[in-house]
Amino acid sequence: MSTVMDNFSWLYGKPSCQGRIKVEPEDFVVKENLGFEFAGVGEHFMVKIRKTGENTKYVVNELAKACGVKSRDVSWAGLKDRHAVTEQWLSVHLPGKPDPDLAQFVAEHPGVEVLETARHDKKLRPGDLAGNWFQLTLRDLDLADDVMARLEQVKLLGVPNYFGEQRFGHGGNNVIKARAWGNDEFRVRDKSKRSFYLSAARSWLFNMVLSERIEQQTVHTVVAGDLLETEEDDRGRLVESNPEQWQQAVDNGTASITAPMMGDNALPTTAQAEAFEMAIVEQEPLLLKLIRDNRMRHERRSLLLKPKQMVWQQDGDTVTVSFALPAGCFATAVVRELMVEQEQQEGHDANSDQ
């Protein structure tokens, strides 16, 4: 099956195995980890839901009706796939009001369960989460042993930290629209569409840089001018000289090489790394123009992603794997290194992050 992600390199080579994922919603389980405790009091009513085969925004609208508020009064930390079983928190702004009875809401929506409620003094905002835990079932694998071998590699060395196909829309439509917008072919006034197209533009450029570093076999190697992400320094460490001195930190996992989330300000990298990154992103002048015209601020993102708590088991031609990822990272980036999907699955949320 050909997808927009075929534009980007595989870390371990394109998988030989073909298989299927999301045959049933239960084959893709996601549990959200906010990473903080609720205050126990406050004007925000927090609802933990488990939804099966339902879109996050649809559930938000229905929960708003049940609580007697408008949809804009209900917020979330992250969108979750529709064709999956997902657990996440929603916050409902209910100042001065008691906790509503959600029995009727649950009765009318068999695909939604209320697992827990609480009170908090702040609303949830997109990105207000530490990460997600996934359990994925890969079925009908024609080379299951190859998947098992690749899982060992992924656990040891990680996967490319690509933005997944969801970010780019069906057939890469968000990137196509972003180029057209950058070429002044139309204006975008809708806030959600602006966000989709700008995010797609920046994500596409990041993926391009990452893909080329894989091609040039420098994805694990520190080069002069790289900006490294470290636990000690939120701003990152610039490799101004002697890259080999930093190589050990990258090898032992205390530092990671980053690539650009482009903005309108200058790259923080220098020397070889800066020249390399600019040569890649300048291949997409319309996306670069769009980002600069909209005054996006430059950020950095790690090249590689190492899943945590990674375990798996095989049952014939089926493999079940579970792992935890930080917020903003895609489970599909892991699956992509394991197998090639036999057919396009329906019901994916084109603009949802994992």
Tokens 């890969």, residue located: 138
Identify the H or E element spanning 326.
strand 318-326
Tokens of 232: 């000690």
Between CA 71 and CA 298 the distance in angstroms is 32
Phi, psi of 210 (to 5 degrees): -60, -45
Question: Strand, coil or helix: what is 165?
Answer: helix
In terms of Cβ atoms closer than 10 Å to its own Cβ (0-12, 13-18, 19+), residue 190 is exposed
Say if residues 69 and 45 touch (Cβ distance below 8 Å): no
In terms of Cβ atoms closer than 10 Å to its own Cβ (0-12, 13-18, 19+), residue 266 is exposed
Between CA 184 and CA 290 the distance in angstroms is 9
Q: Please tell me which residue in 27, 73, 81, 353 is annotated as part of the active site.
A: 81
Between CA 270 and CA 268 the distance in angstroms is 7
User: Would you call 81 a catalytic residue per the annotation?
Assistant: yes
Say if residues 222 and 228 touch (Cβ distance below 8 Å): yes
- Give the type of residue at 268: P
Tokens 């299951």, residue located: 144
The residues assigned a catalytic role are 81
